[in-house]
Structure 1
Amino acid sequence: MELFSDKPGDEGLPGRERGLVMAAVMTSTLMAVFDGTMVNIALPQMAQALNVASPLAVWFANGYLLSAAMTLLIFAALATRIGFRPVFIFGLSLFTLASLGCALSPDANILIGMRILQGIGGAATLSIAPAILRSVFPGRLLGRILGLNALLIASSTAVAPVLGGLLLSTLSWQWLFAINVVPGLLALMLGLKAIPHKPVLSGQTFDLRGALLSATMLGAAIMATNSFASPHAASHAISASVINWFGLALISGIAFILHIRQADKPLLPPAIFHSGRFSLAALTSLACFISQGVTFVALPFLFQRVYGYSAFTSALLFTPWPVGIALVAPWAGKLADKYSPSIISTAGLLFFVIGLMLLATLPATAAHWDIGLRSLICGMGFGCFQSPNNREMLSSVVREWSGYASGVLAVVRTFGQCLGAALVSVLLAVMVSANSVVEQDQAVRVCLWLAVAASGCAIVLSLSRLRRNK
């Protein structure tokens, strides 16, 4: 297999060692994706089993998301200073132990605490996973390995709801976490054996003030978007909460920007954004993930409340999307190693926006195959965009800054999806006054056209990137 073949002048590790590192990184990614997706569908059962109200049960998911978002940049910067290996091993060990702690939790408070620790561990691995792959694979193979990573995530997204439903129907909710233990230990052994220990920027002090400001900024932004996504987002109390959280996010964000511009060794060097290729690729990714976040939250309302499908049928109707990503992403990554990643990702965006427009114009009585075909087009377009754009982000900075680039990539993905979900919540709260099928249909259509608009912004950004590169 070409991924593990060696050629004269290749940087990184020899072929066999690259394979071990890839197995460790992708196993940790697989665990994180499965965990997030399966837990969301288990919240009602977990709330009933632990005898807690739904608002508290939501923190079984939010605790993980919040702690992960707050620490993404911190771990990316820390890995740049002390090396990828210790940060990855720490994160994977914490995630695996916290998974066992979740499975053994006797009450809701301990479970939330374990989920917070799990989120910290997940952030440590996910924030640097693309950077680790770049450090061990030669540049000629970067697009291909990122394409395979996108294939893994898409396949996991498609399989996770089915596996989660199977586990919940045959076993208890604790097994959603217990299944992480064995793969986690295997990935840990592979990581200890194969990931090289080499600090990239050795001797640099850690920016503690920048870390605190970034955690406050990202955490407050997540809390603000979660407040928007609350079922009571239209109430005065929640509106005040949203304003307070956004205010805190804005103040800490401004303070963070001013700090990193003045600090000698900042948590995130502002010079990384001086590269037009990197900045435009990051903004393009943010707009595209906002679009995906909107669509993923809006479509279940269309399928279940407008078309009247069951939750299981709705999940099946989603399947063509990740299947489309799985079909295209590896080939798009391979092409990005030979041709301009910007051109390939822009072509993918055009295909993606066509698919979104087809979903937004679904007829009142759509056949299953029709919905699936339109979702497949979206997935193929997104798959064509994602891996070349990720390659563009990583390859546009020097190798020593790969950890920073990987952390920014994780942040824009997380916040794009969260912001998309929040926008859907706001539109549904404003446009749907009662349990009216007509109003819900109209609201969902507006949401889907909003996703089209966000993707249109991504296309504009990507086209400007093409002009700059030319």
Structure 2
Amino acid sequence: MVTDGGGRRGLALSIVIVGICMVMLDTTVVNVALPSFERSLGADAAQLSWVVAGYTLASGLSLIPAGRLGDRIGHKPVFLVGLVVFTLASLWCGLAQSAEELVVARVVQGLGGGIYYPTVTSFIQVLYTGRARGRAFGLMGSVIGLTTALGPLVGGLLIEALGMEDGWRWIFFLNLPIGLVVLIAGLRFLPRARVPGEQRSGLDPFGTALVSIGLVVFTLPLVQSGGGWPAWTWSLLGVGVLVLVGFFAWERRVERAGRAPLVPPRLFAHRAFTGGVINGTAFFAAFTTIFFVLSIYWQSSLGYSALETGLMMVPNSLASVAGAFLSERGTHRLGRGVLVIGAGAVAAGLVALAAVVLLVPPERTDWVTVLVPTVVIGFGTGYFIAPNTQFIVSTVDPIEAGAASGVVSTVQRLGGAIGIAVAAAVFFGVSAVAGPAIGVPVAIAASAVLAIAAFALVFTLPRRLPEPHD
């Protein structure tokens, strides 16, 4: 642990938390800008999907390799390099002159964010111990939740003030002064210390390449199909599955050779861990999709502004913050029950939201009609996410907790990317045949199916967390 005074530790913590908030802000801020991308850049359905899913996918794929690189060379340089990539890519996003260019810039931006995101937890481990470390993680979670909640509102305000044509560019330019300040402060104040007991694991570049190719090939037909399923989409899905099977075979070979695999196969010998990973993937695929679909429908079909759309999303985000705040107490009192309540609330909220959008005529649809379902979804999301990670990691031996946490964080991001791809394919495909008023509830219902699957898989996890040791 760093032995400097509390003020210096607090400053270092502030630096990395501001950095991580930039990543989370750009996860939600783009939702209200999707119709602006369509209008300003002529983005089609697939390109809109890639703007969101490409960012999430690139971020998820870089998490574990970046963590391994931090183990080898130190987390400070990895944080700073990732921050520079993210900030410059934000500039590129804002300057993009075509939808294709924006998609590529967003992928690079996600890559940069994924590089420095995992270093934040390592810095907290360096800076704090015991209960102070728990409070630091709690602060990080609360600030991230608040930033995520503000994303749609910030995006809506910028587009409302600066116009549909160019206002969206400033949701990316906003990162430039923040990134510059964080970079200068990070160079000066972040510690060089390593996490005590850290192992210098190998990078497994071939494994990284295999899983990246497999996931991109698997996701590509979901996004590009446009709701139809020609033969090439099924072929690519099959190729993606085969590459991913090859990836797991390679990881077993790496582990048997005594080297450090990217994803340790031994973790999946724990049935509860496997069920928990599938549970987390399904849950993130379910809840991350609703505002992608609603934002396009709200503005393009119902005629609401970007600001009105952002305001419609705020109650959901604030409910998520409240759920996250209460989740720690709920975990201690209810054990696995906190996950049952969280996943159940999201599933019920999605079913109710699909029913409301289907049954209420478009001319009578406003923020009040969707308020209760979106608030229920938001609360369930916040109540579920942090305990879910804790419960999944608790299913493996303590010595494997670091590797398990990395796998969980990665599949959460990848689940979100796949969920966006599936929801977009359903929404645009059904809308092309029956109109958006039918496409939206069908896409939300597809997400509800995933949430129900996540609810069922909760029961594969242990009833209680092991008692913590200070």
Shorter-chain TM range is 0.7 to 0.9
Report the number of matched residues: 455
Q: Once the two structures are superposed, what CA deviation does each residue of 1:175-220 show, in whole Å capped at 9, x if it has no partner?
A: 333221222233234444134421666674624xx33323332343
Which of 57, 69, 82 aligns to 2:73? It is: 82
Aligned pairs for 1:423-462 (under 5 A) are 423-428=422-427, 434-436=433-435, 439-440=438-439, 443-444=442-443, 446-462=445-461
Aligned counterpart, 2:129: 138
Rounded to whole Å, the distance in 2 between the matches of 1:283 and 1:341 is 20
Q: State the TM-score, normalized to the length of structure 1.
A: 0.78
Rounded to whole Å, the distance in 2 between the matches of 1:388 and 1:347 is 12
Aligned counterpart, 1:259: 253
Moved more, 135-144 or 214-223: 135-144
Aligned pairs for 1:265-284 (under 5 A) are 265-268=259-262, 269-273=264-268, 279=274, 281-284=276-279
What secondary structure does 1:466 align onto? coil
CA contact (8 A) 1:11 1:136 kept: yes
Aligned counterpart, 2:177: 182
Rounded to whole Å, the distance in 1 between the matches of 2:89 and 2:274 is 35
Aligned counterpart, 1:3: none
CA contact (8 A) 1:286 1:412 kept: yes
Which of 62, 66, 69 aligns to 2:60? It is: 69
Change (3 A) 1:398 1:460: closer
The amino acid of 1:371's aligned partner reads V
Change (3 A) 1:52 1:305: closer
Rounded to whole Å, the distance in 1 between the matches of 2:98 and 2:241 is 34
1:221 aligns with 2:215: yes
Rounded to whole Å, the distance in 2 between the matches of 1:37 and 1:137 is 30
Report how far residue 46 of structure 1 moved: 5.4
CA contact (8 A) 2:297 2:436 kept: no
The amino acid of 2:463's aligned partner reads L
1:197 aligns with 2:189: no
Report how far residue 357 of structure 1 moved: 4.1
Q: Once the two structures are superposed, what CA deviation does each residue of 1:80-123 show, in whole Å capped at 9, x if it has no partner?
A: 33333332222123222333444456777776655444332211
Rounded to whole Å, the distance in 2 between the matches of 1:132 and 1:42 is 33
Rounded to whole Å, the distance in 1 between the matches of 2:318 and 2:247 is 37
Aligned counterpart, 1:168: 159
Rounded to whole Å, the distance in 1 between the matches of 2:50 and 2:342 is 36
The amino acid of 2:194's aligned partner reads K
Change (3 A) 1:356 1:256: same
The amino acid of 2:284's aligned partner reads F
CA contact (8 A) 1:142 1:391 kept: no
Aligned counterpart, 1:6: none
Structure 2 unaligned regions, length at least 5 = none
CA contact (8 A) 1:229 1:426 kept: yes
CA contact (8 A) 1:294 1:417 kept: yes
Rounded to whole Å, the distance in 2 between the matches of 1:50 and 1:303 is 19
CA contact (8 A) 2:394 2:466 kept: no
CA contact (8 A) 1:144 1:334 kept: no
Aligned counterpart, 1:4: none
CA contact (8 A) 2:35 2:296 kept: no
What secondary structure does 1:265 align onto? coil
CA contact (8 A) 1:280 1:461 kept: yes
Report how far residue 261 of structure 1 moved: 2.9
Report how far residue 231 of structure 1 moved: 5.8
Aligned counterpart, 1:466: 463
The amino acid of 1:411's aligned partner reads T
Percent of paired sites with the same residue:
25
Aligned counterpart, 1:288: 283
Moved more, 389-398 or 165-174: 389-398
CA contact (8 A) 2:207 2:261 kept: no
CA contact (8 A) 2:52 2:417 kept: no
Q: State the TM-score, normalized to the length of structure 2.
A: 0.78
Report how far residue 270 of structure 1 moved: 3.6
Moved more, 312-321 or 52-61: 52-61
- Give the CA RMSD over aligned residues: 4.1
Rounded to whole Å, the distance in 1 between the matches of 2:396 and 2:3 is 16
